[in-house]
Each structure stands twice: as C-alpha cells, then as structure tokens.
Structure 1
Amino acid sequence: MATVGAPDTLPTGTPVSSLHEALDQCMTALDLFLTNQFSEALSYLKPRTKDSMYHSLTYATILEMQAMMTFDPQDILLAGNMMKEAQMLCQRHRKKSSVTDSFSNLVHRPTMDQFTEEEIHAEVCYAECLLQRAALTFLQDYGLLQLEEGASGHSFRAVLCVMLLLCYHTFLIFVLGTGNVNIEEAEKLLKPYLKRYPKGAIFLFFAGRIEAIKGNVDAAVRRFEECCEAQQHWRQFHHMCYWELMWCSTYKGQWKAAYFYADLLSKENSWSKATYIYMKAAYLSMFGKEDYKPFGDDEVELFRAVPGLKLKIAGKSLPTEKFAIRKSRRYLSPKPISLPIPALEMMYIWNGYAVIGKQKELTDGILEIITKAEEMLEKDPENEYSVDDECLVKLLKGLCLKYLGRVQEAEENFRSISANEKKIKYDHYLIPNALLELALLFMEQGRNEEAVKLLETAKQNYKNYSMESRTHFRIQAAILQAKSSLENGSRSMVSPVSL
C-alpha cells in the first residue's frame, strides 16, 4: 500500500465547516500515523487542537498510542495531559444543565432531540476522553470486555482498542502471566490492520511479537527488521525493535548479536541506562575466552558502572533496574566473583523460557549452556555466593527440562531450591519463583490442588525480594488458572441426574 501524502497543514484561523468535515480530517491524520508519518499526523492536527473537539481528541489519541507502545513515562504523562485538555474542550461544548434540568434528568431520561448536533458530538467526545484516560490504567483493572467491544467497531476508537488488546496479549499476559497467551485472538486482531497497512511499523512490530511468542524466532527477527526499515522518523520504535532483537539473539545463544543491540540501546535510548549496561556486561560474560570483545569493553568494569546509573522516575526506580544493580554489586569488590549466566537469568525475568520452550532445538542449546555453568560451579572453590548461584542454575535447568518433557528431573531441580532455602544469602527471589515453577509443572499434570497450595505458600510466606511485583503477578495468574481448572473439573464430575 502506498503511503498517504501529507495534506496541507490546517491554518490556525481556518474554521472547520462542519463536525463531519472535522471527522474526515481526523481520519486522514490517523491514516498518516498508521503509515509511519508520525510527525506529519501530529503537525496536521495541532493547529486546531485548541478549538476543535475532534482534532484535540485525535491528537491526544495518537499521543496515547505512542505512549502505549513505548511505555515511556514522559510519553504517558504527555498523552494524559493532552487527553485532559481535550476533555476540558469537550466539556465547554456539552449541553449546559441548570439545577432544575439536573433534577428533571433524574426522573426523566433526556432524549436526543433535546441536544443540538454539536452537543451530541460533545457528549460522544467527552465519553471518548473518559474512556481513553481510563485506558491508560486498564492494565491494573485488565477492562477487556469494553476493549473487545471497542475493537469490533469501525471508528478510530477501534484502532486504540486493538492496540491496547495487542499490548495486553503480547506483553502483559506474556511477561506478567504464566506464558499462556491467546495467540489466535492476537492474530485475529492484527490481521485486518496488517493487511490494510502492510508497511505500518506498529503492526509489523506486533507481528514480530506474535512470532516470538509462538517460538518462531527467525520469523520474528524478520518482522522486527522490517519494522525498522519501514520508517526512520520515530527512533523510539527502532529501540523497541532492538530490545526484541536482543532477546531473539539471546534465545539462539548469539551473544555478539545480543551485545550489539544492548550497546545500541545503551547509546541511543534513555529508558534505563543501568539495565542496558548490565545487559552489555551480561553478554560479554557469556563470550568464550577466545572471542574478541568489541570496543575494548570489559564486563567487570561495565558491571561496576551499573549502580551509578540508577534512574528514578516519579521518585521510584524501575524494578528491572533495581535487579540489575543488586546483581552488579558483587563486582564492586577488588576480586569479584563472576555471575554464572547473567544473560540467561535476565531472560527468565522476562519470561523468555516460554519462548524457547516451544522449540526443542533452542531449549537444547540453552540447556547445554546451563549444564556447562553447573559443572563449572561444582569445580569452583566454595564462596559466599555458591549456594545462590547453584540454586539459580537449578531453577533455569528445571525450566529447560520441563519444556523438554523431562518432568521428574525438572521437579527435582525445583525442589532442591526450597531445600536450600536457609542457605541462600542474596537471591531470595529464587525461592518463591521455584515454588511458582513447581506449581506450574503440577498444573500441567492436572495436580491443581497441590499447585494452589504451593502458590499460596509462595504468595504469603515471602516478602521484600527482587522483582517481587512481577512474581506476584505470575503467582496470581497461576492461582486463577489452577482454580478455574478445579472448578471446571468439579462441574464435569456432576452427573445430569444430580443436576
């Protein structure tokens, strides 16, 4: 599909002849945005955002789409402020009600013929603003039915709803859930938009996410590369692709490629310098002794730099950043003891084993690396980190064994972590996560009652550990899944006679 040419910018003083014309112009702006002409879309709308409800709403909608894609705090703040301005503009055009009118409306529902055409549009736009402001918080109160209803329509609301649902299916549920994603639903949502906007960077990115979750890593890489090639204006979009390409390289054990993308992010993106430098160091530590280390970088020096890069947003640090800083502190001593497999540990934090678990070849490759690390730990003299490192390796090894169908061995590895609970000094997050993974293993075997007990123990008995919120999200998702299976099982056991 050829990209839409940017129309002339609307002069500030030019009146919009009708609300319907305003709608047409806003759809034109949305087309510009979806064909990668991001700045053109915003420039086209901006002159009318102070006096046209639809221009103001569409401008804020595009900013919100960007915010939902980048999760950048500044983007979210900007979108929220603009949506608030749009809401205030709509409020000025809404039907003015007296005290008598308000009382009357309690008794008699107002009819459409009581409103002018402008007031009707103002009501719709006002409601749209409320919906979209609420959409920024939908991740907390997971409003899926409303989003699904919105996604099935044909207004520009549908685009935002589709994008929110794609974020939900391909990010939220995957990273903060059990890894069981409704891929069919995600593909169904994406298909018509990818067909209409085959070079639309947003939709190419989601296509890449879907391929990655399916375990089709090579296909995912192609989609992310297409996404980067599709547009050059929105560099943050490239950064999102670099992040995904970094993980795709990790899944394949391609440490140099993964390092390359982490390096690009550390130089071009400001989301979390600490995380990016940590990942650079993590990948360098995975290099073989004979491998050339680019730019003369040294992993020890990079790890030592991480704590000094701490960033606070609204007074709080990013959880991933705090995790990276805690792990890096062991390098601050004059004779640091190396982390065993830091890249594969961080891959667990981002639920990457649910990706490799869908491809035996990838799982075998990662298991081989983990097994070698385990053998090295057994040979090394004992130190203050020994038990923590051994338990980490057991957790990751157990995951690979689970996905390879070696259930008994996986269970033994997960149980060994709880057995060493009192000996773990630093990585206390390993214990509730081992219980979580053991519970998920039981759920696959239909042992849902045992799974729920383990999950409740993990939820109630452990506090103040690394990535606690993320683990709690996963535990809660697993509890809901296990209890749902128990309820369905109970229903199926009830005979028609007893009903």
Structure 2
Amino acid sequence: VCVCVCNRSSEMTLKECLDDCMEALDLFLNNHFNESLEKLRPRVNESMYHALIYATVLEMQAMMTFQQDDITNAGNTMKSAQEVCQRSGCRDCLQLHAEVCYAECQLQRAALTFLQDENMVINNETRIYLLCLQTLSLFPPRILKVLEFAGFSGDKEYGLSLLNDGATGMNLRSMLCALLLLCYYTFLTFILGTGEGEVVEAERLLKPFRLRYPRGAIFLFFAGRTEEIKGNIDEAVKFFEDGCKQFHHMCYWELMWCFTYKRAWKMAYFYADLLSKESRWSKAMYVYMKAAYLSMLPKDEARPFGEDEVELFRQVPTLKQKIAGKSPPTEKFAIRKARRYKAALPVRLPVPVLEMMYMWNGFSMINKRPELTEGMMQTLVEAERSLLEAPGIAALFQTQVFLLKRIRVTLHWTSFQCRVCFAAIKLSSHYKIRFDHYLVPNCLVELSLLYIDQGRRDEAIKILHKAKHNYKDYSMESRTQFRVHAALAKLKADPGEDDDTHL
C-alpha cells in the first residue's frame, strides 16, 4: 500500500488522500469555502494532494476576487505546495504523482504571474519562455500532451481533446480539467482572442456540474459568462446576481458590463461605484469607469450622489498603483485618457465607455442582438454629430468614433463602407493622431477580420503582420498583440512570416 501522508500521528493511503481532497473540493464547489480550507489545512505540509488542492482553492478565489493580497497568498501557498511535492517524490510509488503535482503548481504560479501583469508576455518574452520550459521539463512525456492546448510546440486541438476527456466523470482531476477549460473557453479565447469564445463547448462542460452544484457560485458565474457571450444579457444578469454573494467582485465587474451593453449608464455606474469602494484591484480603473458612465448622461440630468465626472477623471492619475512593480495595462490606459481633464477647461472624451468596451472585446457580446447594436450605433452617431459641431476638437477624437463603428459590420454595413472607415483612420493617423496611437494597429486588426469574413486570407495575413511589426509602445499593446496572434492562428498562418510590413 502506497502511503501518501506519513507521520507519527496519522497515515493515509494515496486513495484516502484523493478521497479526502475530493470531499474538500466538493465543499468548495458547494460554496462552503471556509469548511473546504479547514478540511485541507491539517495536512498541507504532509500530503502533496492536500497541498495542491489547498493552493488551487486559494488561486481560484484569487482569480475571482482579483485582490492583490489573495494573489500573493495563493502564489506563496503554491510555492509551499511544491516543496511538499519534492519531499513526497522520494518514494518510488509516489514519484509520478509528485512530478505531476509539482508541475501543476508551477503552471498555476505562471498563471498567477500573468494575472498580475499580462504585459509580461509581450515585454519580457524571455522570462515567460524560460518559465514555460522549466514547467514543461517537469512533466512525464504522456502528461506533456495535455499542455499542448496552450500552444506549447504541440497540437492545441489534441491537447484540448485530452482535457475534455479528463473533464468527463466526477473525480478530482475531472473538476480541475473542467474549470481550466471553462476559463479557456469563456475568458482566454474571448478577451485575448478575436472575441468569439467557445459557447457550445462551455455549455456542454457546464451541464453536469450545474446539475450537481445548482447553487455553486463558480458554475453560476460561468453560466452567466456563456449567456453574456451569446448576447443574452438579461439571462446573464440573473446568473451574476445569484453569484454575487460569494464572488461579488467578479460578478460586479460582469454586471457593470452587462448594463453597459444595455446602455443603462446609471446601473453600470452603480456597480463601478461598488467596485471602487470594495475592491483593491484597480481603484484608478473603477473611478475612471464611474466618470465615464456619468459623462454618457445628458448634461442636464442629475448625477448619482452629486458626483461630477470631471472631478472623478482628475482623481484617476492619483490612484495609480503598482502590482509586482508595474501598473495593470488597463489602468495605464485609463490614466492616459483621464489626463485630458487636467486643464481648467478640459477637452471632454466623446465615448469613453465604448472605447473601454472595445478594449475588452465587448462589441462581440452584442453582435447577435440588433436591438443592442442599433442602440450603440445611435450613441456613436450622436457622438460624431457633437464632434462635427466642435471642429476645434473633432480631429482629436473622430478616429476613435470611426474605429468603434466597426459595430456597423454587424448591421450589414457594406464592405466598401467598412474599408472607407478604416482607411480614414489610417490616413488621419499620420496627420492628426497625437495621443491615441493604439487606434491604427487596432484598425488594421479590424480590417483583417473583415477580410477573414470575406475569405481574403492572404490580404488578412499581410495586414495582421503590419499591425504586429509596424507599431510599438502604444496603449494596451499586449491585448492587441494577443488578438493578432489569435487571428493568425485562426488562419493557420505562421506568426513569424516576414512580409513586407511597411505601410
């Protein structure tokens, strides 16, 4: 019999360890968070599986709260779990288990690092490359294939199929595989991709877990995400409101965007206000969004709590923070935009909410809902009209409004009209864009997506390489580069092809 926990006071076989950890994970998924941790805690220094699941529960909480203290605590606990794995691997019967658990810890630590700073992948490629190599070198050959889904030199589709196989059933690893795939399908492919997501796969994965854990906050949250991606905003709101009691910050964040898609600016402001008071992830971002929502209201309409958007915008730069020595990219973006309000007579941003919505691929959420896209188009048309009535500032912001009009593609705007819009941005970029340099590469990405829809593969690839190689050091560069990479992968194009990348 292989002993998993061995000390003078207690012994547990490997099967007993796995069963005990399964019970703890079951408690967590039924919203009994403290009970789950209490069950695991006595053996976290002796059992590698107790240590791994304990750290994994803390990481899941960190990813749902986005609190820096939670992220740091999860990372330190994951590091301690690796030490337990190293001690456990000295017994032959546990060596393979120890190697797998250790590597899982390493991969989750990498995910936490990415959570703190997505720019790391773009600005410090050597560091992440070495970290991935270190992680991969620890896996037995048959386990390595599971990681191919992440793009590590292997077949991503085959890796995803293995994870899907692992997600079947109801055991310790099936739940971990399912949660990983749900994150991949509803977040990574959506936010860091071209805004499509994998709704069918996510719903298939969710079904058995929703039956077993009907009130489980994590699965309520993912159910809300799938409805949101489908454009069923009212249904998504119900799921997020149900999940608020446990993972309130992430649910508040999604509710803020849901009401944004409905153009319910005051309700969206309400959730941004809650986040600014309760969450420490990025005060600057939350206050920026509060100001942005107030700026979308008519000038003569009363502001909630008597707040003034100009004063809120002026607060944003003072709320800057650093996580692991750097500010989050979205916070940097918000601060740069808010600086327009420093002057005594500030130049107002025309549609700051929709601009940030674009950065989070929000327009893809509503592209199957004509009533929502028509409403957004009305907002953009009104903003454009206001700019034309103020020619002194029109040149500063017209390109932003043009880019956001990508939404017209979903309203059957002709490809010629779309190309004219994108060409206007490219032309104006060389003469008029003084601040928002991110507009041109994002314009090129949108034009490439239009070409992909039209089956013009070679033209799309050429434009994507222009976006990738011709523009550097602009706001949210990492987010745009991820989208470029996703589009090239969709076309099965070599991301390193050396095209003529000069405009």
Using the size of structure 1 for normalisation, the TM-score is 0.84
2:24–2:36: 8 Å Cα contact kept in structure 1?
Answer: yes
Q: What is the aligned partner in structure 2 of residue 27 from structure 1?
A: 22
How far off is 1:59 after superposition?
A: 1.1
How far off is 1:40 after superposition?
A: 1.4
Counterpart of 1:329 (choices 324, 334, 339) is 339
How far off is 1:70 after superposition?
A: 4.0
Specify the SS of the correspondent of 1:84. helix
Which segment drifts farther, 470-479 or 70-79?
70-79
Counterpart of 1:285 (choices 286, 289, 295) is 295
Summarize the Cα distance change of 1:180–1:136 in structure 2 as closer, same or farther, 3 Å threshold: farther
1:16–1:22: 8 Å Cα contact kept in structure 2?
Answer: no
Counterpart of 2:424 (choices 416, 419, 424) is 416
Q: What is the aligned partner in structure 1 of residue 209 from structure 2?
A: 193
Deviations 1:41-76 (A, max 9, x none): 112221222223332222122123223444545434
Specify the SS of the correspondent of 1:426. coil
Percent of pairs identical after alignment? 54
Q: What is the aligned partner in structure 1 of residue 498 from structure 2?
A: none
Q: What is the aligned partner in structure 2 of residue 127 from structure 1?
A: 100
Specify the SS of the correspondent of 1:178. coil
| C-alpha distance in structure 2 between counterparts of 1:390 and 1:95, whole Å | 65
Summarize the Cα distance change of 1:294–1:150 in structure 2 as closer, same or farther, 3 Å threshold: same
How far off is 1:14 after superposition?
A: 5.4
Letter in 2 for 1:404: L
What does residue range 164-313 of structure 1 map to in structure 2 within 5 Å?
164-228=180-244, 232=245, 234=246, 237-313=247-323
Specify the SS of the correspondent of 1:137. helix
Specify the SS of the correspondent of 1:312. coil
Q: What is the aligned partner in structure 2 of residue 370 from structure 1?
A: 380
How far off is 1:381 after superposition?
A: 3.6
Report the number of matched residues.
443
1:340–1:389: 8 Å Cα contact kept in structure 2?
Answer: yes
Deviations 1:447-470 (A, max 9, x none): 111111111111111111111111
Q: What is the aligned partner in structure 1 of residue 401 from structure 2?
A: 393
What does residue range 152-163 of structure 1 map to in structure 2 within 5 Å?
152=168, 154-163=170-179
User: RMSD between aligned alpha carbons?
Assistant: 2.1
1:448–1:483: 8 Å Cα contact kept in structure 2?
Answer: no
Counterpart of 1:57 (choices 48, 52, 63) is 52
How far off is 1:95 after superposition?
A: 3.4
How far off is 1:439 after superposition?
A: 1.0
Q: What is the aligned partner in structure 2 of residue 492 from structure 1?
A: none
Q: What is the aligned partner in structure 1 of residue 461 from structure 2?
A: 452
Counterpart of 2:438 (choices 423, 429, 432) is 429
Q: What is the aligned partner in structure 2 of residue 3 from structure 1?
A: none
Specify the SS of the correspondent of 2:61. helix
Q: What is the aligned partner in structure 2 of residue 4 from structure 1?
A: none
Counterpart of 1:471 (choices 480, 484, 491) is 480
Q: What is the aligned partner in structure 2 of residue 106 from structure 1?
A: none
1:263–1:277: 8 Å Cα contact kept in structure 2?
Answer: yes
| C-alpha distance in structure 2 between counterparts of 1:444 and 1:185, whole Å | 22
What does residue range 8-47 of structure 1 map to in structure 2 within 5 Å?
15-47=10-42
1:353–1:400: 8 Å Cα contact kept in structure 2?
Answer: yes
Deviations 1:287-342 (A, max 9, x none): 11332211110000000000000010111111000000000001000110110010
Deviations 1:334-385 (A, max 9, x none): 11011001011110011101011111110000000100010010011413xx
Letter in 1 for 2:343: S
Summarize the Cα distance change of 1:405–1:14 in structure 2 as closer, same or farther, 3 Å threshold: farther
How far off is 1:483 after superposition?
A: 4.0
How far off is 1:148 after superposition?
A: 3.8
How far off is 1:16 after superposition?
A: 4.2
Which segment drifts farther, 427-436 or 474-483?
474-483
What does residue range 66-105 of structure 1 map to in structure 2 within 5 Å?
66-95=61-90
How far off is 1:136 after superposition?
A: 4.3
| C-alpha distance in structure 1 between counterparts of 2:79 and 2:165, whole Å | 24
1:87–1:126: 8 Å Cα contact kept in structure 2?
Answer: no
2:82–2:105: 8 Å Cα contact kept in structure 1?
Answer: no
1:356–1:363: 8 Å Cα contact kept in structure 2?
Answer: yes
Counterpart of 1:356 (choices 360, 366, 390) is 366
